[in-house]
Amino acid sequence: MSDTASFSSRVSTSVARELVVAVTGLGLIVFILGHLVGNMLIFAGPEALNGYAEKLASLGELLWVLRLGLITFAVLHIGLAAHLTWANWSKRTSRYAVTAAVGRKSVASQLMIYSGIIILCFFFFHLWDFTFGTKTGPGTVVPLMGGQEELGLFGLVWNSFANPLRAACYIVAVCCVGLHLSHAIASVWVTLGVLTHRATDKADAVAWTIGVVVALGFASIPIYVLVRTYIIGQGA
Amino acid sequence: MAEKTIDLTLKVWRQESPDVEGHFDTFPAKGISTDMSFLEMLDVINNQLEKEGKEPIAFDHDCREGICGMCGSVVNGHAHGPQEATTLCQLHMRKFHTGQTIVIEPFRADAFPIVKDLVIDRGAFDRIIQAGGHITVRTGQAPEAHSVPVPKKKADTAMDSAACIGCGACVAACPNASASLFTAAKISQLCHLPQGHPERNRRVIAMVQQMDKEGFGSCSKRYECEAVCPKEIKVENITTMNREYLRALASSGE
């Protein structure tokens, strides 16, 4: 009884850890969806995107509160998920000679840790690229948009994606985000204790749809820049 | 109906004791009646092995009618063989065809040490049940049937969970060797009934802690367990377990 009663032993079980991974994961999903909506402003032109970025920057201390919240969520999510995965790998040391495909096991569910690692690496690259990137000077001039005007964040993003290799890296990374979300959103309801058996297929469909929308939504930006730069050109 | 026979090749996991390295032995299995159960086929092979003065294949079995949970091996990668919702003893040889090679392995999980050949020690499951502890019921005279009302839907849910025979196929099929489906079914069968309510918070915490302690993995929601379960226990039970766990975390003490 004393063992089950202590608070620290209650919150350190595998089930409790999974609950934390689920809740922090949901928080990160909300951020990703918000980020996606904000990014869509790039289609509205330099003023819209730069104005949005300035508005975010003007939040000042509140922005840092949000950032610290996100960092805390990310650290908890990644740390506990990595710990659980590492522990799970050690539970069957003798391998089966024959394995068969059974259950709903999707590619996404098998690759969670790997898509997660790619997303983490991408996160640092992405910060270095855009958050800390120089948003003034010749690097932000887009000749295609006419003139020699510096276009701030918009110009930085545009010129970054005009490099096909970099654009391809971004597209691969956001596909990993979509893949990660497609299993995450399908399974989070089991972890949080709300999924009935009859709703399993629906949860799968919703998760898959959100995963595809997120991947396509983010990928649409580099694809748009590549198309404008190399196919349609100046006139468009 | 004329009896049909098939010729097979068996590759069976042989392991002398828990601590020695195991290996596969290959046996021809000729003239196997398709009306035999899988275990009867193993009986026939064992008779041959004994005639030849060789060590028979050790495998677990008891009721041979699919309700005790003693039998179970991984057959060609499927826990309890290729037929859905069927224990190994209820699987018939008509599901196989002549010329086929059948690979038979024990349920593999570090929490289920191999005792010999296909026999595993599922004591970890017993200890999870023990950790669950008692339920509060009146002893003595049977209570009046209407004194403890149970809604039909809840009774059905509890009964579906109680169908778990504790065979361990869920653990065998899980990539993480997780006992979540088993533990969840045992928690679910009690938490839906009024008799299981007084201890529900303590029970879920204790059983989950014991599950971790025994060295089982956690749930990655890959649904292999549900697919191989001979009693069709659903992953929804794991949802229930997690909900019960949240409730227990939120409540203080009992």
Q: State the nearest Cα–Cα gap between B57 and chain A, in angstroms.
A: 18
Q: Whole-number mean pLDDT of chain A?
A: 93
Domain final position from B115, B149, B166: B115
HSE-up (13 A, CA, CB side) for residue B208: 33
In B, minimum Cα distance to A195 occurs at B239
Tell me which chain B residues have a C-beta less than 8 angstroms from the C-beta of A193.
239-246
Burial state string for B148-172 with b = 16 or more CB within 10 A and e = fewer than 16: eeeeeeeeebbebbbebbbbbbbbb
**Same-domain pairing of B105 and B26:** yes
pLDDT at B2: 65
Both tokens of A17, joined, read 């850890």
**Same-domain pairing of B110 and B67:** yes
Place of tokens 């509205």: A44
* Structure confidence by residue, pLDDT tens digits, B205-215: 999 999 999 99
* Structure confidence by residue, pLDDT tens digits, A68-82: 999 999 999 999 999
Domain holding B200, by residue range, is 122-250
Q: How far from A165 is each of A114, A125, B120, CA to CA, in Å? A: 21, 14, 53
If one counts every other C-beta atom within 10 angstroms of the C-beta of residue A218, the result is: 22
CA distance B230 to B159: 15
pLDDT band at A3 (very low <50, low <70, confident <90, very high): low
Q: What architecture (CATH level 2) is domain A9-87+108-232?
A: Up-down Bundle (1.20)
DSSP B142: P
Count of structural domains within chain B: 2
Query: Directed axis angle between helix B236-250 and helix A164-191, to 10°?
Result: 80
* Structure confidence by residue, pLDDT tens digits, B76-125: 999 999 999 999 999 999 999 999 999 999 999 999 999 999 999 999 99
Contacts of B92 (CB under 8 A, 6+ apart): B34, B35, B36, B37, B38
pLDDT band at B1 (very low <50, low <70, confident <90, very high): low
Q: CB distance from B207 to chain A under 8 Å?
A: no
Tell me which chain A residues have a C-beta less than 8 angstroms from the C-beta of B85.
none
The pLDDT of A131-152, averaged and rounded, is 86
Contact A195 B202 (CB under 8 A): no
CATH number at residue B92: 3.10.20.30
Tell me which chain B residues have a C-beta less than 8 angstroms from the C-beta of A196.
236, 239
**Which 56-115 residues of chain B touch chain A by CB within 8 A?**
74, 76-78, 82, 103, 105, 108-111, 114
Contact B224 A5 (CB under 8 A): no
Contact A15 B241 (CB under 8 A): yes
pLDDT at A2: 46
User: In chain A, pLDDT over 70 holds for what percent of residues?
Assistant: 96
Q: Nearest by CB to B223, from A19, A88, A103: name it.
A: A103
CA distance B167 to B182: 9
In A, minimum Cα distance to B238 occurs at A190
Strand partners, B25: B12
Strand partners, B32: B6
pLDDT at B208: 98
Q: What value of ipTM does the predicted structure carry?
A: 0.93
